[in-house]
């Protein structure tokens, strides 16, 4: 993947190209007019990962420009600043290099630096090594942490030293003036473009208003990004996620926002669909892990829900045919997609039973070809 070239004066041009491409790709489904949500043209990523390159006494951040015709051909690109990254990251980049360059303890076999920041300026820096981290490293890292006013985590093979905490707290004020707070854990997925995430959450709240008499089921809920923002639009919410770390963080985020009508269950979308179809999980011959699944399903008390809406935010592969087929059971579908190709495949599968009522493009990743879309579908009468 090429290192993005940021040219703010060209931003409207690149956004128009994305809008035109999405409009053309989905035209045969006859969707409503595309709603387009722009990103800041620069300094929009709140998290970034860099290789740390050692050349003699010199030390610098690096990314790789990969030849699309020959992926094995990688060119090292030196980065002293990175206009894609948040202003806080750009502020820290030279300060960290300066501190590391002349410190043999912190520098030795350091090969990667990860930054995680927030709109309010919190910063967590992960230093990743090809060696064991000892008490001497921790002493130096604590000095660096105080000097830069950041939180530091040291990582190496089978080792993770958290000096203060392993997360930041992001505060997002939406366009309807509602504010939500999110714990975002180091080395876990979070939406990288916080300003566009604000717009995604505002849009999702808007398209699900008037649903208080029904319940929402959310698949692939992550750390509760949508769960937290949408809970007040529904009577009850049941969210599912397979990652143990994400489930724990989602629960913390529900508590932090004083939400008491949502539950997060640790299970895959496929397991939930199986449970909803009342297929027996805890059979006599089941393994112990399946018995645990059976107990989790019972604890969810699915019979108490009246699901009217489903929200899916799947990975780039989209939904498989069977999972997509099960969406037909819901009156309303909110589909968040990071891959227009698989989104189109899924929408074509649903077009005979559901109509597209709202269609949005969220420019999460300016200066790349990636497009994030939001679709509201409602069952045809």
Residues annotated as catalytic are 338, 372
- Round to whole Å and give the CA distance between 96 and 11: 30
Q: How far apart are CA 255 and CA 67, in angstroms?
A: 46
- CA 229 to CA 161: how far, in whole Å? 32
Distance CA 184, CA 191 (A): 9
By C-alpha distance, which of 253, 144, 130, 254 is closest to 188? 253
332-349 exposure pattern, b = at least 16 Cβ within 10 A, e = fewer: bbbbbbbbbebbbebbeb
Please count the CA atoms within 13 angstroms of the CA of 365 that sit on its side-chain side.
Answer: 13
Residue 256 contacts by C-beta under 8 Å, 6 or more apart in sequence?
181, 182, 183
In the chain, where does DSSP find H-type helix?
A: 11-26, 87-101, 104-107, 135-148, 194-207, 225-230, 244-256, 269-276, 288-300, 321-326, 340-350
| Maximum C-alpha span of the chain | 70
Q: Cα(312)–Cα(219) distance, rounded to whole angstroms? A: 5
């Amino acid at each position: 993947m090429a290192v993005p070239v940021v040219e703010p004066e060209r931003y409207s041009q690149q956004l128009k190209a994305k809008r035109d491409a999405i409009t053309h790709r989905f035209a045969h489904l006859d969707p409503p007019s595309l709603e387009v949500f722009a990103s800041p043209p620069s300094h929009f990523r709140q998290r970034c990962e860099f290789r740390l390159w050692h050349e003699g006494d010199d030390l610098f951040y690096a990314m790789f420009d990969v030849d699309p015709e020959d992926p094995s051909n990688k060119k090292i690109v030196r980065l002293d600043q990175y206009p894609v990254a948040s202003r806080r990251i750009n502020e820290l980049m030279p300060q960290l290099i300066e501190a590391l360059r002349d410190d043999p303890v912190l520098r030795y076999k350091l090969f990667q630096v990860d930054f995680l920041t927030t709109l309010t300026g919190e910063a967590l820096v992960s230093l990743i090594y090809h060696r064991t981290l000892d008490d001497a490293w921790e002493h130096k890292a604590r000095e660096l942490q105080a000097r830069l006013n950041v939180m530091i985590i040291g990582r190496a093979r089978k080792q993770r030293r958290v000096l203060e905490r392993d997360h930041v707290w992001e505060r997002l004020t939406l366009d309807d003036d509602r504010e939500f707070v999110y714990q975002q854990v180091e080395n876990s997925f979070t939406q990288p473009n916080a300003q566009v995430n604000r717009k995604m959450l505002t849009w999702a709240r808007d398209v699900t208003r008037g649903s208080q008499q029904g319940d929402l089921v959310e698949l692939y809920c992550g750390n509760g990004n949508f769960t937290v923002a949408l809970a007040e639009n529904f009577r009850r919410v049941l969210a599912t996620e397979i990652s143990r770390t994400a489930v724990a963080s989602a629960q913390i985020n529900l508590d932090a926002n004083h939400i008491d009508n949502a539950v997060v269950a640790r299970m895959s979308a496929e397991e939930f669909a199986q449970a909803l179809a009342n297929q027996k999980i805890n059979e006599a011959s089941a393994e112990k892990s399946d018995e645990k699944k059976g107990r989790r399903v019972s604890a969810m008390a699915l019979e108490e829900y009246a699901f009217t809406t489903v929200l899916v935010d799947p990975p780039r592969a989209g939904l498989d045919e069977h999972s997509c087929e099960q969406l037909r059971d819901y009156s309303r579908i909110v589909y968040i997609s990071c891959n227009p190709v698989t989104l189109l495949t899924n929408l074509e599968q649903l077009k005979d039973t559901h109509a597209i009522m709202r269609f949005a493009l969220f420019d999460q990743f300016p200066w790349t070809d990636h497009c994030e879309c939001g679709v509201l579908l409602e069952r045809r009468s």
